[in-house]
Amino acid sequence: MKEIQNYTHYSFFTAMSELASKHGSYDLSLGLPDFDIDERLKFFLKESAELATHNYEPLAGNPLLIKNIVNFNAKRKNSIAVTTREVTIIPCATFALYTALKSILNQNDEVIIIQPSYYTYGPSVVMNGGVPVYYDLEDDFTVDWDGFKDCISEKTKAIIVNSPQNPTGKIWKKEDWNQLYDLIKNREIYLISEEIYDTYCYDETDHYSSFIHPELRKRTFCIFSFGKMFHTSGWKVSYMLASEELTAGFRCHQQYISYSANVPAQYALAKYMEVFDPKMNTVIMQRKRDIFNDLLKETSLIIEQKAEGSVFQIVNFRNISRTMTDVEFSKWLTVEKKVACLPLSAFYHSRHDSDYIRFSFAKKDEVIIQALEHLRKNL
């Protein structure tokens, strides 16, 4: 598996954060919140520790958590109808991606990856014997469906989609899922749909899941994350929706990789889902996005498109430098201007430069304000 060494590793992302710490910079590089979780979540976790919840849950997960996931998805504005037999509790989204691929790929099957994309996608395909085929989004980070069609071949076995997307903040609408289905409806092609920022959709745009599509849902592994939803990534609990047939194949492989996710946390999350209001997630994070965007207007950095969702904002830096690569600019901004970001090229398999950097606004309001005020004075 030497080819894995050619991919961007997580160390690249943490290196920027470490650079920020070393130079006393404001760290807006990673999507790790620096604010506290809801006190009720802490209460339920403490309550869980007092209960007999320290052995494995069933392979599918905590029954109460599964029940509440079904209820939560039914109550969405764009309701997702799902049965308890179509829900699986998993340790994290990366686990679900890897295991879903493991359950469907044969040697040398092709998997289409839409770039820019999260760094785990390509390696997960390769480690499962597949061949990544990369499709680059247009300059405005939209899909050119004629160009996308050219990526599909007789060897295509799966497509990975992320919406709301990291890093672009783009959201797939109903029309996008319809377009995708039209291209693959007569082929045996599966969909792995990572929808982990589903509660962060802004400006009255509602999340529209791939699992709503009546035909796509039959061939879709739809992945969600409590870590992103509740700012509890260290708890290692997420969930996946899939048809009963795909779920059976997934669990067959799951049992040999990680039988169960964090059991005390499953109970705490189950109880918290009974009082959680997803609208508050949207309101809080949209306010942070707007604070970030409004203050950035006072600098020479340019926002060409506001993030529709997720917790990231893409920013064009070419008004400041025409000669630096995005990696060089990111390091310069972190060290010299004391605000850390990530270069967009880090989200491509083989691109070495771009005009863009990515910031995270999943931070305390005061940190966002202080960081942007510092840039206003120093850029």
Residues 111 and 254 in one domain: yes
Residues 6+ apart with CB under 8 A from 223: 90, 93, 96, 97, 100, 192, 193, 194, 195, 196, 238, 239, 240
Of 79, 136, 128, 119, nearest to 99 by C-alpha is: 128
Give the SS3 label for residue 205.
coil
Give the SS3 label for residue 331.
helix
| Count of domains observed in the chain | 2
Residues 83 and 223 in one domain: yes
Taking a C-beta distance cutoff of 8 angstroms, is the pair 343, 119 a contact? no
Residues 120 and 254 in one domain: yes
The number of CA neighbours under 13 Å toward the Cβ of 298 is 13
Kindly give the confidence (pLDDT) of every residue in the chain, 379 residues in length, as a single tens digit, with 9 standing for 90 and above.
566 666 666 777 888 999 999 999 999 999 999 999 999 999 999 999 998 778 999 999 999 999 999 999 999 999 999 999 999 999 999 999 999 999 999 999 999 999 999 999 999 999 999 999 999 999 999 999 999 999 999 999 999 999 999 999 999 999 999 999 999 999 999 999 999 999 999 999 999 999 999 999 999 999 999 999 999 999 999 999 999 999 999 999 999 999 999 999 999 999 999 999 999 999 999 999 999 999 999 999 999 999 999 999 999 999 999 999 999 999 999 999 999 999 999 999 988 899 999 999 999 999 999 999 999 999 8
Residues 172 and 246 in one domain: yes
Task: Using the 3D structure, point to which of 273, 291, 306 is the last residue of a domain.
Answer: 273
Taking a C-beta distance cutoff of 8 angstroms, is the pair 114, 4 a contact? no
Tokens representing 148 are 């996308």
Residues 15 and 90 in one domain: no
Measure the CA dihedral 229/123/139/205, to 10°.
-20
Task: Using the 3D structure, point to which of 222, 255, 273 is the last residue of a domain.
Answer: 273
Indicate the pTM of the whole model.
Answer: 0.95
Q: Which domain range does residue 44 map to?
A: 39-273
Give the SS3 label for residue 356.
strand
Residues 157 and 228 in one domain: yes
